[in-house]
């Protein structure tokens, strides 16, 4: 079998073309480094205001712990009473939509982008992530693009969601598999 080779010199960055988009991203990186990627406990209302100024759709009573990293706030929707734990990374080159009363625990990664590994051009593939109301993404979990985590599902610690998770269910593992129903009393 004859194989071609990957040549990353041929890769085309389609995420932030254009001078305006690059300047907006540069301003966001500076702001993010000062107010988000720090141990300084800036008030949550202040962080929410910053995200809104950068185009994020952010609800009320949102809690954003230190060291939260967000790629593009203008592609982020957070509902009411969302908790983002320490060192959460939202790598959103596509839209990420998070419903109400969602907890995303420490070191969780939401990543919308990937690459076409079978193409010599290694094109970027990006799909949105949807997290519905009442979901808990436990510490050190990964959620990839194209996944919907339905209402009140739980992704257990250190698990990978590469497919949709059903409502009121608990999933665990890499890849995450159904464990049992979530019963809330």
Every domain of the chain and the residues it spans: 16-181
* Burial class of residue 22 (count of CB atoms within 10 Å of its CB; 0-12, 13-18, 19+): exposed
Return contacts of 57-62, CB within 8 angstroms, 24+ apart: 59/100
* pLDDT number for residue 9: 76
Distance separating alpha carbons of residues 35 and 6, to the nearest angstrom: 38
Question: Which tens digit of pLDDT belongs to each residue from 82-120?
Answer: 999 999 999 999 999 999 999 999 999 999 999 988 888
**pLDDT value at 1 more than 60:** no
Distance separating alpha carbons of residues 180 and 172, to the nearest angstrom: 10
**pLDDT value at 16 more than 70:** no
CA 104 to chain CA mean position, Å = 10
The domain at 16-181 falls in which architecture? Answer: 3 Solenoid (2.160)
pLDDT average, residue stretch 143-158: 98
Closest to 107 (Cα-Cα) out of 82, 88, 90, 135: 88
- Retrieve residue 128's tokens: 């949105």
* pLDDT number for residue 118: 87
- Which residues are within 8 A (CB) of 102 and not within 5 positions of it... i.e. 6 or more apart? 79, 81, 82, 83, 131, 133, 134, 135, 136, 137
| Residue 27, helix vs strand vs coil | helix
């Amino acid at each position: 079998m004859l194989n071609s080779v990957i040549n990353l010199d041929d890769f085309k960055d389609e995420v932030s073309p254009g001078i305006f988009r690059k300047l907006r991203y540069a301003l966001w990186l500076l702001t993010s480094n000062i107010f988000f990627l720090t141990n300084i406990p800036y008030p949550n209302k202040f962080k929410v205001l910053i995200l809104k100024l950068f185009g994020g759709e952010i609800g009320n009573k949102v809690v954003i712990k230190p060291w939260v990293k967000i790629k593009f706030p203008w592609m982020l929707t957070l509902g009411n009473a969302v908790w983002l734990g320490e060192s959460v990374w939202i790598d959103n080159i596509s839209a990420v939509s998070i419903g109400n009363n969602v907890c995303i625990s420490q070191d969780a990664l939401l990543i919308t982008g990937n690459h076409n590994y079978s193409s010599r051009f290694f094109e970027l593939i990006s799909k949105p992530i949807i997290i519905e109301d009442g979901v808990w993404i436990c510490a050190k979990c990964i959620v990839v693009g194209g996944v919907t985590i339905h209402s009140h599902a739980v992704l257990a610690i250190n698990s990978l969601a590469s497919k949709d998770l059903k409502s009121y269910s608990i999933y665990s593992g890499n890849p995450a598999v159904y464990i049992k129903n979530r019963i809330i009393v």
